[in-house]
Structure 1
Amino acid sequence: MIIHKHIKYLFILLLLHLSHNLVAQMGEIESHDPSTIQKDGNTYWIFSTGNGIKATYSSDLENWKISAKTVFQKDSFPNWIKEYVPKFQGHFWAPDCIFMNGKYYLYYSCSSFGASQSAIGVATNQTLDPNSPQYKWTDLGLVVASKERKDFNAIDPSILKDKQGKIWMTYGSFFGGIGAVELDSASGKIKSGESIKKVAGGRESDWEASCLIQEGEYYYLFVNNGLCCKGLNSTYYIVCGRSKNPLGPFLDQIGKDLNAGGGTIILRTEGKFQGPGHVGLLREKGKNMVSIHYYDADDQGKSKINLVEMIFKKGWPYFRRK
């Protein structure tokens, strides 16, 4: 009987351990470069950097699970990528997701660390629920590529559908700076006849992980300065500029252009939240909820997701943690 009790006790401990691994609070989920949160039915989804593109989901924005299915099968990816990024091995970076035309469009980055030879692709799906019979990612191929260091490095896409129904993409990292361009709302690719315009950074300075949003009469461009991906040695912080035109110029609070090194600091390291970055906006129940990643100083610098609320004062955004 005593042995049976011990077995029962160990079984309960095992269940608790498995439950903890399957369901975790927002601050316990390891993730890097989270996408804009999308809601499909009653479920919220975040896509993030990883082999095949990592997917994480929640029903309440607090308790999260990692999906067993990645967007692409691990260690397998569309053949076209090798043409543009020969060294690519299946570890996708910094995806972003938007719902339009009755589908979810997932934009993703293909590159290697420190390289300017990169590409952004896009895939679509009618649902984000892997258990749905309609669940199937269809890759649409290349959106934009980069090769030389003077180019806008083709990583870190951020997609906005504005109040006029136009679709905009900002992207870039170091090298040529941050580029912005209008997309065709039907194809999801760059609109015919449109050229990419520099809206921040350049001269190989530390600008990346952009995010374009619209609030009132302004477009706001959030960008990361500093260095990522170094755990507790990461120096990421978030700056912002605004413009009445989605192609800029974006000016900070003192009127300095982000193309000339301007940028009002919005969020920097606070306590355990080291190197915050990669803004995504979810408008939910009258609130502006911003998803970011940070490096957890209380957990060996592991990269995790955090939600902060964004409010506006006198036309400028401020982030505050709940």
Structure 2
Amino acid sequence: MPILMLVGLVGCSGKGTPQPVFPDPPGETAMYDTSVLHDEQKWTVNNAHDPGIIKTEDGYYVFSTDVKVGGEPKPGVMVRKSADLIHWQWVGYALPGIPEEAGAWSSAVNLWAPDVVKHGDEYRLYYSASTFGSRQSMIAMATSPSIEGPWTDQGAVLKTRSEDALNAIDPNIVTDTEGRMWMVYGSFFGGIHIIELDPATGKPREEGFGTRIAARDPVTEDGAVEGPYIIYNEKFKKYYLFVSYDSLFEDYNVRVARSDSITGPYVDYNGREMTDTEFQPQYEIGNKVLGGYKFGEDEGWVAPGHNSVLKDGDDYYIVHHARGEVDKHWSYLHIRKILWTEDGWPVVSPERYAGEKEQDIPEAMVAGEWQRIEIDPLVDGMIESDPLILHSDGKLEGRRGKGAWTFDGRRTLNLTWEEVPEGEGRKASVQLLPSWDWEKGVQTLVFTGLDERGISIWGKREAPGES
């Protein structure tokens, strides 16, 4: 079937542009495989939650929250590694359990949301100790000369009490363009804060909680903002703040905003600040780049979120967990390429990473039948795709009516609808990417981009004869 798909796509590619290189089959991942429940060595991408990624000389490593389907998780921060970001191998636990200080302060039964950085010759593992719904929390640090340990606990980095307005969980360590080190952290209790660290110790320079850079109100699961992660893009000279919104099990989704300064203000595509709790509805703040989705009749993914971001050379990847549509108790590790719009906004691939590379696409490959997803911030939960036909004469048609498409001859596709209600999005600019269709198990072409409202638009080309 992969061969048929490749022939169907490239056989009509025409002349001029070289044939694109599609990813090789990455292998299958069995979903909801109860045979691995108690065999950690087979937990490749299963039982991955709140993943934090780091690249080392020995490969890529993901550290994640202690979770387990079908039983109580062992505490200690789960560790996995990969040579290619596609195939993952279980390593073990960073710590032998919950360190004494963290347990005494928080009563934690597992450790959450780790982040790992390297400073000089030392690796630093930041982790969260808390219990669900509590603000009696602690961010702590362990150090090691080796990414696989052993790790030595260095105690508390930041503590919050039950009576505090904010919550010391979900740390991410970032160094700004001036070489200053910061920790961004927090949750829907009090929002997201950033505080400067002393590089020598990896702990805050001053007392206090730092500066608030994102918040939502009211404080409910449906009003959650958590899992912050900051990156800097040298090309656009901007800091980008990624956060997760809403309920962990139901409608988790990833938002992004950007700033000229690491301490904010962070502003979305429409100029709304991430600290604006007065604007209504609040779910319209932040560019929604990833949410629950379903292509056609294939099984979808629910509540993707709590991401980290990897910059690997010139490539960027978003690393997150997601839950299968059939059974939301199972969380899986997902990695996707991030592409960038001309005006400097990150957009996410509709398909998980399988080795795809950004490259020029022959125009003759574009026409055909597609499935399109509009990642609407107004829609909670899983969004289903709708058909889109791109005709070879430059016209298009789909659920929203008729229109036209144009192609720049490289990888940018522009879609224009003729008649749509005001405010629903008439134009979109998207980028094409040769990918692996994990739902069908074939090679395919996808697109990702934004419409003029800043709403993410995804597409996946159907195999010839599939519709």
**1:79 aligned to 2:100?**
yes
Partner secondary structure for residue 172 of structure 1: strand
CA contact (8 A) 2:103 2:129 kept: no
Correspondence for 2:443: none
Following superposition, the deviation at residue 23 of structure 1 comes to: 5.7
Between the aligned partners of 2:332 and 2:86, the Cα distance in structure 1 is: 13
Correspondence for 2:51: 34
Partner secondary structure for residue 275 of structure 2: helix
**1:227 aligned to 2:269?**
no
Between the aligned partners of 1:39 and 1:245, the Cα distance in structure 2 is: 25
**Alignment RMSD:** 2.1
Structure 1 residue ranges without an equivalent (≥5): 1-16, 130-134
Residue deviations 1:203-248 (CA, integer Å, cap 9, x gap): 42411011111113211111111111x3xxx210111111111111
List, as ranges, runs of 4+ consecutive aligned residues in structure 1 with deviation greater than 6 Å: none
**1:258 aligned to 2:274?**
yes
Between the aligned partners of 2:40 and 2:140, the Cα distance in structure 1 is: 32
Following superposition, the deviation at residue 250 of structure 1 comes to: 0.8
The change in CA–CA distance for 1:191 and 1:21 in structure 2 (over 3 A counts) is closer
CA contact (8 A) 1:29 1:64 kept: no
Q: Which has the higher Rg, Structure 1 or Structure 2?
A: 2
The one-letter amino acid of 1:211's match is Y
Structure 2 residue ranges without an equivalent (≥5): 1-34, 67-74, 277-281, 295-299, 354-467
The change in CA–CA distance for 1:110 and 1:24 in structure 2 (over 3 A counts) is closer
Q: Report 1 or 2 for greater relative contact order, CA contacts < 8 Å, sequence distance ≥ 6.
A: 2
Between the aligned partners of 1:245 and 1:285, the Cα distance in structure 2 is: 23
**1:317 aligned to 2:346?**
yes
Following superposition, the deviation at residue 195 of structure 1 comes to: 5.2
Correspondence for 2:324: 296
Following superposition, the deviation at residue 138 of structure 1 comes to: 1.2
Match of 2:129 among 93, 99, 110: 110
CA contact (8 A) 1:149 1:176 kept: no
CA contact (8 A) 1:208 1:224 kept: yes
Following superposition, the deviation at residue 251 of structure 1 comes to: 1.0
Between the aligned partners of 2:163 and 2:86, the Cα distance in structure 1 is: 40
**1:151 aligned to 2:143?**
no
TM-score by length of 1: 0.83
The change in CA–CA distance for 1:259 and 1:122 in structure 2 (over 3 A counts) is same
CA contact (8 A) 2:47 2:330 kept: yes
Following superposition, the deviation at residue 183 of structure 1 comes to: 1.1
Correspondence for 1:267: 290
Correspondence for 1:279: 307
User: Bigger CA drift: 275-284 or 190-199?
Assistant: 190-199
CA contact (8 A) 1:40 1:127 kept: no
Partner secondary structure for residue 318 of structure 1: strand
The one-letter amino acid of 2:344's match is G
Correspondence for 1:56: 80
Between the aligned partners of 2:49 and 2:122, the Cα distance in structure 1 is: 24
Residue deviations 1:264-315 (CA, integer Å, cap 9, x gap): 2111112222111112111224210111111122555511110111121111
Partner secondary structure for residue 259 of structure 1: coil
TM-score by length of 2: 0.58
Between the aligned partners of 1:31 and 1:319, the Cα distance in structure 2 is: 20
Match of 1:128 among 136, 147, 167: 147
Correspondence for 1:305: 333
> How high is the sequence identity, in percent, across the aligned residues?
31
CA contact (8 A) 1:93 1:108 kept: yes
CA contact (8 A) 1:178 1:202 kept: no
**1:192 aligned to 2:206?**
yes
Between the aligned partners of 1:88 and 1:41, the Cα distance in structure 2 is: 33
The change in CA–CA distance for 1:195 and 1:146 in structure 2 (over 3 A counts) is closer
The one-letter amino acid of 1:116's match is R
Correspondence for 1:236: 252
The one-letter amino acid of 1:56's match is R
Residue deviations 1:141-197 (CA, integer Å, cap 9, x gap): 111111135522111111112332221211111111111111111100012367511
Between the aligned partners of 1:215 and 1:288, the Cα distance in structure 2 is: 10
Correspondence for 1:206: 224
CA contact (8 A) 1:175 1:202 kept: no
Partner secondary structure for residue 80 of structure 1: helix
The one-letter amino acid of 1:244's match is D
User: Bigger CA drift: 258-267 or 145-154?
Assistant: 145-154
Partner secondary structure for residue 95 of structure 2: coil
Between the aligned partners of 2:46 and 2:244, the Cα distance in structure 1 is: 22
**1:168 aligned to 2:182?**
yes
The change in CA–CA distance for 1:194 and 1:24 in structure 2 (over 3 A counts) is closer
What is the number of residues matched between the two proteins? 288
Between the aligned partners of 1:291 and 1:247, the Cα distance in structure 2 is: 23
Between the aligned partners of 1:104 and 1:57, the Cα distance in structure 2 is: 15
